[in-house]
Amino acid sequence: MTIAASTNAIRAWRTLERLPNSLWVDWATERMDAGDDTPSLRILAGLTGSFDQIDVTRLLDACLSELGVEPLDRETAVKVYASELLKNLLGNTQPVRDVLRELGDLCIQTEYDRELYPFYLLHFALWDLEDGEVQWYWDGADRSNIDGIVRKQASEWLVRHAPGA
C-alpha cells in the first residue's frame, strides 16, 4: 500500500485510535527531513521493529504537541483525511486502488458512514474487476468505466464534504 503518512493522516489515525505502525515512523522521518526537529520527533523517527501501542501513542501525542499540531475531533478527522485521500486520487499522487482500500477501511472503522459507503462499494467493485469481468457492487461499473466513476464520486464528495466547502 502506498498511502502517504501526512500530518492529516497521522492526526486522523490518532483520533481513530489506529495501531502504531511504520507509517508513523515514516511521517516523523519526513518531518525531520523537512526541517522539523523536536525531541519526541527524533525518537519516533528512530523507532524500528514492533511498536508498543501505549508508548508509541504517547510519543506521537508529544510530537504533535511539540510541533503545535492540534488534535482533531472524530468527524473532522474523517473529513480531513478522506478529503486528502480523494485529492491525492484526483491528482494522481496515490493509486486509485490504494485510496479506495483506505477509504473502505475508513468506512468500516466509522461503522459504515453513509458518506464513505460509496467508496467502500467502489473498492470491492474495482477489486472484482481486477480479477474478472463482473462485479455486483456498483450498478453499471465495468473495466472500461470504473476509473471515471471513482473520479466522479471523488469530485462530488469533495464538493459536498471537504472542510471549508
Which three three-digit cell numbers place residue 164?
471549508
CA angle, 23 then 29 then 30, to 5° = 90
pLDDT at residue 114 in the model: 94
With beta carbons less than 8 A apart as the criterion, state whether 78 and 103 touch: no
Which three three-digit cell numbers place residue 35?
526541517
Matching residue, cell 526537529: 37
For 9-33, b where at least 16 C-beta lie within 10 A, e where not — what string?
A: bbbbbbbbebebeebbbebbbebbe
- The whole-angstrom separation of Cα 4 and Cα 22 is 11
With beta carbons less than 8 A apart as the criterion, state whether 122 and 146 touch: yes
Which pLDDT tens digits describe the chain residue by residue (165 residues)?
Answer: 467 789 999 999 999 999 898 999 999 999 999 999 999 999 999 998 888 899 999 999 999 999 999 989 999 999 999 999 999 999 998 999 999 999 999 999 999 999 999 999 999 999 999 999 999 999 999 999 999 999 999 999 999 986 554
Matching residue, cell 486522523: 12
Q: Is 18 helix (H, G, I), strand (E, B) or coil?
A: coil
pLDDT at residue 49 in the model: 83
**Structure letter (DSSP) for residue 12:** H
- The whole-angstrom separation of Cα 138 and Cα 20 is 33
pLDDT at residue 162 in the model: 62
pTM recorded for the entire structure: 0.87
Domain positions in the chain: 7-67, 74-161
pLDDT at residue 107 in the model: 95
Q: Among 27, 12, 14, which Cα is nearest to 53's?
A: 14
